[in-house]
Chains A and B, each alone.
Chain A
Amino acid sequence: MNTTEMLQPPPAMTSRLDGELMEVSMGPQHPSTHGVFRMNVALDGEMVVKLKPVFGYLHRNHEKIGENTSYLGSMPYTDRLDYFCSMTNNWAYALSVEKLAGIEVPERAEYLRVILAELTRLQNHASLLGFLLSDMGAWGTPLMYAFREREKILDLFESLSGSRMMCDYMRFGGCRVDAGPDWMERAKKIVDLFPKFLDEFEKLILSNEIVIMRTQEVGKLSAELAINAGMTGPMLRACGVNYDIRKVDGYGFYPRFKFRVPLGEHGDCYDRLMMRALEMHESVGILKQAMEQIPAGPVMNPKVKIRAFRPPVGEAYGRIEGPKGELGFYLISDGGTNPYRYRVRPPSFINLTVLEDLCLGHTVADVMVILGSVDIVLGEVDR
């Protein structure tokens, strides 16, 4: 048997013994549902014929909490949305409030934000690849390698913001503390060494025959459906749709950096996996440019009040390209200290819209791989 023969999809199951469907509840305490996520699956043999995701096990009504706290008070809560990427969550929220109140951000702060967002992307994608491998049965090893690299980035976050995961670092009109020269040196070293890890990691997984068989032609998504169903991030670009908010909106000085947007072709799990690997290479490129260009200067806009911050009446929708997709915040201000409406547009929640379409016709074991390739974090899905 040669490789091409092995890579063919399995023959469709045509005959059934007695035609009865079995309903299985996968989750919420399933080890590979990335949290407390449940899927009600109807199975024909081992084939999925129906799949309904069930949400809400981690629901805490984040939006209501946001409406009952001051604008600044919501900032630490955004860390807890997608707890892997608190820096990008902070940025999306800060960006929306800055739009709402018309606040300028100093140049150095914007550069710092880009650096931190790209570091977040590196650690998110690295650990996602580890988790995905773990879902396929490669227990431990790839995930630990990914976590080892993630740890170095988290140490950077800790020494800058004071916390590894709940950074609470950005503020309206800038960043809370400045990064000193030692921090920048350390970050540079870590970024310089990152491609070495990436090459090794790719050698470990991307040409592995088992990974290829488990992911290629599994969970295919068409570009039309992806656009209509509001997919964003690597999910969308794996289908070949060139839409990266860093390029489209050009927020936060991204137009100043040279980087390419990797695009997939088939929209299957393997392409989604590759998207993350390729995006990490581009992120390293952005980081190197940003660390070279970063100017000296203040990191906070001095005009912004910390206490009793009241944006003018109006509304704003701000969005950024988070590691998981478009993360947006929709805010309505009635002129008070609390937002009248505080809405999070969670990328992992909306990316689950097509989960059923992806899983139909695949086996139970594939469902885990497909779910892993969507990249969800339940803190954000359930809010």
Chain B
Amino acid sequence: MTMESLEQIKTRVEAAVPGAKIDIIPNPGPAQQSSLLIDNEHAAAVAKFLRDDSALRLDFCSNATGVDWLDRTVKKTVKVKKIVDGEEKEIDETTEEFFPGYLEAVYHLYSMTHKHGPVIIRMRTADRAENARLPSLTPVYRSAEFQEREIFDLYGVRFDGHPDLRRILMWDEFVDYPMRKDYREPDDYEYEPTPHDDVLEKAKMHYSARPQLDGAENITAQS
């Protein structure tokens, strides 16, 4: 049984859940797995519709995961005609467009009843700091329970409505979110006989600080 196209799903969801805003995020790669970006306000209702609709019956949320997208600026160079000193000239004008970063939660939905899928839905947070909040889909899909906890643990997305949002893989006292792209490891160093790039830098730093460190005198800086 073939599934409806994403466009059809989009129109049907928007008709069924009033106010829901859905965008299709195309996937340029050969996998062709495009996804639906759903708005946070109606996310739970949309997920419920996807799960219960008789034609879709996406009752199995296979995978839920986070993705970190950092702030980025895209430089664009456009040729503009301008009047300089009374003369019309063509000038290269560079514009910088700033895209604020965000965290994303991606869910892969399949149907065990109709054996089709995947339909990929995504949600985006407003920013990467205190507003990194998303509605939890655990009330709709129980399988997201541990996976959303994992996203919270490793990416720092708070899921509103999650029954038990605690750290899951890291210990409770841990402060940072290790899967974020700008995560910096704490400065703990253990002597390594073959230091490479970053480790070598670290080794040198610790070497000067702790010359008595066992074996550290062998560390030599190499280009």
Residues in chain A within 8 A of chain B (CB atoms): 55-56, 59, 61, 63-64, 99-102, 225, 227-232, 241, 243, 248, 311-317, 319, 326, 328, 330, 332-333, 340-341, 343, 345, 349-350, 352-354, 382-383
Residue pair B146, A353 in contact (C-beta under 8 Å):
yes
Complex Cα spacing A225 to B141, Å: 10
Contact between chains at A227 and B118 (CB < 8 Å): no
B63: which A residues are within 8 A, CB to CB? 317, 328, 330, 343, 345
Give the interface size bracket for B toward A: 20 to 34
Q: Is the CB of A99 within 8 A of B31?
A: yes
Chain B 22-42 near chain A by CB (<8 Å), digits 1 or 0 = 000001111101000000000
Closest to A315 in B: B27
Q: Is the interface of A mostly helix, strand, loop or mixed?
A: mixed
A56, A64, A225: the one contacting B168 at CB < 8 Å is A56
Q: For B62, what are the chain A residues with a Cβ–Cβ distance below 8 Å?
A: 230, 232, 319, 326, 328, 345
**In the bound complex, what is the Cα–Cα distance between A326 and B60 (angstroms)?**
12
B65 touching A330, Cβ below 8 Å: yes
List 3 tightest A-B contacts by C-beta distance, closest first.
A314-B29, A230-B143, A102-B30
6 additional A-B pairs beyond A61-B154, A350-B143, beta carbons within 8 Å, are A101-B29, A228-B59, A229-B145, A230-B61, A316-B29, A316-B31
Q: With the chains together, A230 CA to B61 CA distance in Å?
A: 6
**Cβ of A382 to closest chain B Cβ, rounded Å:** 6
CB-based contact B179/A227 at 8 Å: no
Cβ of B144: which chain A residues have Cβ within 8 Å of it?
230
The reply to whether A229 and B28 contact each other, CB–CB distance below 8 Å, is no
CA distance A61 to B155 in the complex (A): 12
B9 partner residues in chain A, CB cutoff 8 A: none
Q: A55-B168, A63-B179, A230-B142 are in contact. Are A314 and B108 (CB under 8 A)?
A: no
Q: Contact between A349 and B146 (Cβ–Cβ < 8 Å)? A: yes
Cα distance A375–B120 when bound, in Å? 28
Quick one: CB contact mask for B91-123 with A, threshold 8 Å, 1 for yes? 000000000000000101000100100101000
B141 A228 Cβ-Cβ under 8 A: yes
Determine whether the beta carbon of B67 is less than 8 Å from that of A332: yes
Which B3-52 residues have a C-beta within 8 angstroms of A? 27-31, 33
Contact of A101 with B115 in the complex, beta carbons under 8 Å = no
Residues A227 and B65 in contact, CB atoms below 8 Å apart: no
> Do A228 and B30 have beta carbons less than 8 Å apart?
no
Q: Are A228 and B178 in contact (CB under 8 A)?
A: no
Residues of B within 8 A of A352 (CB): 146
CB distance from A272 to the nearest CB of B (A): 18
Q: Are A99 and B141 in contact (CB under 8 A)?
A: no
CA of A64 to CA of B115 in the docked complex: distance in angstroms?
Answer: 32
Chain A CB within 8 A of B171 CB: yes
Query: B74 at interface (Cβ–Cβ under 8 A)?
Result: no
CB of A315 within 8 A of CB of B142, answer no
A102 to B30, CA, bound (A): 5
From B60, B115, B170, B179, residue with most partner A Cβ within 10 Å: B60
**A49 CB to nearest B CB, Å:** 16
B169 interfacial contact with A, CB 8 Å: yes
User: In the assembled complex, which residues on chain A have CB atoms less than 8 Å from the CB atom of B59?
Assistant: 227-228
In the assembled complex, how far is the CB of residue A78 from the closest CB belonging to chain B, in whole angstroms? 16
- In the complex, are the beta carbons of A243 and B168 less than 8 A apart? no
| Chain A residue at minimum C-beta to C-beta distance from B59 | A227
Known contacts A316-B31, A328-B108, A353-B143; is-contact A64 B169 (Cβ 8 Å): no
Tell whether, in the assembled complex, residue A227 and residue B60 are in contact, meaning their CB atoms are under 8 Å apart: yes
Nearest B residue (CB) for A352: B146
Taken together as a complex, chains A and B put the C-alpha atoms of A232 and B112 apart, in Å, by 10
Which of A100, A319, A345 touches B30 (beta carbons < 8 Å)?
A100
- Contact partner, B108, options A61, A101, A330, Cβ 8 Å: A330
How far in angstroms is the closest Cβ of chain B from A161?
Answer: 27
Enumerate chain B residues within 8 angstroms of A314, measured Cβ to Cβ: 27-31
Complex CA–CA separation, A318 to B30 (angstroms): 13
B115–A248 contact, CB under 8 A?
A: yes
* Alpha-carbon separation in the docked complex, A330 to B35 (Å): 13
Q: How many Å from the CB of A343 to the closest CB on chain B?
A: 4
Q: Which residues of B contact A225 (CB under 8 A)?
A: 142
How far apart are the CA atoms of A61 and B153 in the complex, in Å?
Answer: 12
- A61 with B178: CB separation less than 8 A: yes
- Report the minimal beta-carbon distance from A352 to chain B, rounded to whole angstroms: 7
Complex Cα–Cα for A319 and B154 (A): 23
Q: Which of B31, B145, B146, B179 contacts A100 (CB 8 A)?
A: B31
- Give 26 pairs: A residue, B residue, CB < 8 Å, sorted on A: A56-B168, A56-B169, A61-B179, A64-B178, A99-B31, A102-B29, A227-B60, A228-B143, A230-B60, A230-B143, A230-B144, A232-B62, A243-B60, A243-B112, A314-B28, A317-B63, A317-B118, A319-B62, A333-B29, A341-B65, A341-B67, A345-B63, A345-B108, A353-B145, A353-B146, A383-B169
**Distance in Å: Cβ of B212 to nearest Cβ of chain A:** 30
CB-defined contacts of A243 to chain B, threshold 8 Å: 60, 112, 115
B179 and A228 contacting across the interface, CB-CB below 8 Å = no
- CB pair B108–A311 under 8 Å, yes or no, is no
Interface contact A59-B170, CB-CB below 8 Å: yes
A229 touches B29 (CB 8 A): no
Chain B residue at minimal CB-CB distance from A243: B112
Taken together as a complex, chains A and B put the C-alpha atoms of A229 and B154 apart, in Å, by 21
For residue B137, give the distance in angstroms from its CB to the closest CB of chain A: 11
